[in-house]
Amino acid sequence: MYDPDMHLDTARLILRQPRLADLDAWADFMADPRAAQHLGGVQPRPTVWRSLATMVGSWTMNGYAMFSVIEKHSGEWVGRVGPWCPEGWPGTEVGWGVHPRYWGRGYATEAAITAIDWAFANLGWTEVIHAIAPDNVSSQAVARRLGSSPLRSTGLPAPFLGYMVDIWGQTRAQWQAQRERLPLAGKP
Write down the pLDDT at residue 162.
Answer: 84
| Torsion sign (Cα): 99, 105, 108, 114 | negative
Q: For residues 169 and 91, is the Cβ–Cβ distance under 8 A?
A: yes
Name the strand (E) or helix (H) holding 70.
strand 67-71
At 55, phi and psi to the nearest 5? -65, -45
**Mean pLDDT in each 10-residue stretch from start to end of the chain (188 residues)?**
86 96 97 93 96 96 97 97 96 97 96 97 97 97 97 93 94 94 56
At the topology level, CATH places domain 7-179 in Aminopeptidase (3.40.630)
pTM value is 0.94
The radius of gyration of the chain from alpha carbons, rounded to an integer in Å, stands at 15
Domain boundaries, the chain: 7-179
